[in-house]
Structure formats: C-alpha cells, structure tokens
Amino acid sequence: KAGVTQTPRYLIKTRGQQVTLSCSPISGHRSVSWYQQTPGQGLQFLFEYFSETQRNKGNFPGRFSGRQFSNSRSEMNVSTLELGDSALYLCASSLGYTGGDSPLHFGNGTRLTVT
Amino acid sequence: GNSVTQMEGPVTLSEEAFLTINCTYTATGYPSLFWYVQYPGEGLQLLLKATKADDKGSNKGFEATYRKETTSFHLEKGSVQVSDSAVYFCALTDSSYKLIFGSGTRLLVRP
C-alpha cells in the first residue's frame, strides 16, 4: 500500500509569490491534515479536511488555504509569500477524524524556501 | 490552552543505555496521548499511543504510560540502538480533535 505522497519535495519561491503544495493520502483515507514545521515554532496545525469539507483550522492567516477533492487528494495554497513561511510542510492522512482511533500517517513533507 | 512540554535535547546516549524522554501535558478533559518519531529526511511516524488513564502504549521496545495524576506520558526504552537516533515528539489530541505537538527531543545514540 502506497504511503502519503507529497509533491514537490523541495520548492524555492520569492517573497510575494504564491505556491501550491499537493498531498495524495493513503488509498481509502478520507481525512487529510496539514502541519507546518519550523525550528522556532515546531509543528503547528494548519487545517484538516474530511470528505472535501474543512473540519478544523489552526491559527494561521488567511493567506494559507486548502481544499480537498472528491478522491481525497488535497492541496494547500499560500499566497503573498513571506520569508517566515519558509518551513517543512507536512501532510497526514487517516481513515477517520483526527483524535479518533485512526492514527495519522505522515508524508515526507515539502520543504519550502522563500527568498 | 492545551499544550505539551518535552525535555530539551539533544539527548546523547551510548548503545544499550536506558532511555527516558520526559513529556508532560496541560489539557482539559481526557486527551489521547501519542509519541511520534521523525527520522532524518522523513515525515513523522506514530510510535505508540494511549487513550485513557493508566493505559500503557508500547511498540518496538518503547513504552509510555498515561499518568493522569502527574499529567505525564514519559517515553522509555530499556536498551537503545544506533538506529533509534531520531527526533521524538509527544502529542495530544485536544477537545477539538486537533493534534498538538511538543517541541520534539532529538536522540543521538553513539555506537
């Protein structure tokens, strides 16, 4: 069974640009969550989608948005990039809601560098 | 608010030494508790979990016990290996079902 796949693996963007990251969950998983990982702030929850609906949202500005498609694949978009957005963005999928009995399965992440 | 506090790393041990990584939490209600591990260049993997007080989670020789009286979930292993070198994250799910992580503890095991 294929794991969670995130593309691209690395990305370099310039301040002010926008970026879209992609996540393909494990087959059959309906929940996709996104996390930002930085050395200073650690792992911070961005949002969770379940069956194409945003179920939960962290404390990030509106520049961060996401969506989930009918095949459970998810995309995350960051507009008007800032230097502080440089981070490892991790996607995780699970069969059911986060917090239930279904564990999260993480992808290897997308490393975004904003210059 | 809900939070997780882990001991600062790095923790450096010799192979076959005993490992303890401390984790305490603050949460309302009865959170589920988790340990995740991140190997270099990879995402996080669930190591073990416990969903109620006094539960013991265990996997790959690691174990942790959910202690409600001390709000702790310390990770232990009796004999570490070089391959255990990684970053370990303690986490909880809060009442809104978000997964909240600690800051992570880097473990370095020397041969």
Per residue in A31-79, pLDDT (tens digit) is 999 999 998 888 999 999 999 999 889 999 999 999 999 999 999 999 9
User: In angstroms, what separates the C-alpha of B42 from chain A's closest C-alpha?
Assistant: 5
Summarize the confidence of residues A86-111 as an average pLDDT: 86
CB A106 within 8 A of CB A98: no
Phi, psi of B83 (to 5 degrees): -70, -10
Please list, residue by residue across A60-81, b when 16 or more beta carbons sit within 10 angstroms of its beta carbon and e when fewer do: beeebbbebeeebebbbebeeb
CB A7 within 8 A of CB A71: no
Half-sphere exposure of B50 (CA within 13 A, CB side): 23
User: Chain B partners of A48 at a C-beta cutoff of 8 Å?
Assistant: 97-98
Kindly state the tokens that stand for A27. 């087959």
Tens digits of pLDDT across chain B (111 residues): 889 999 888 999 999 999 999 999 999 888 999 999 999 888 899 999 998 999 999 999 999 999 999 999 999 999 999 999 999 999 998 777 778 899 999 999 999
Residue A44 burial by Cβ neighbours in a 10 Å radius (0-12, 13-18, 19+)? middle
Q: What's the mean per-residue pLDDT of chain A?
A: 93
Half-sphere exposure of B103 (CA within 13 A, CB side): 10
Chain A residue at shortest CA distance from B5:
A42
State how far the Cα of A62 lies from the Cα of B9, in Å rounded to an integer.
34
User: In angstroms, what separates the C-alpha of A104 from chain B's closest C-alpha?
Assistant: 7
What is the model's pLDDT at position B40?
Answer: 87
In total, chain B counts a number of residues equal to 111
- Nearest C-alpha neighbor of A32 from the set A2, A68, A3: A68
- How does residue A99 score in pLDDT terms, banded at 50, 70 and 90? low
Interface contact flag, B44 A104, Cβ < 8 Å: yes
Q: How many beta carbons lie within 10 A of that of residue B33, not counting itself?
A: 28
Interface contact flag, A108 B101, Cβ < 8 Å: no
What is the model's pLDDT at position A98?
Answer: 64
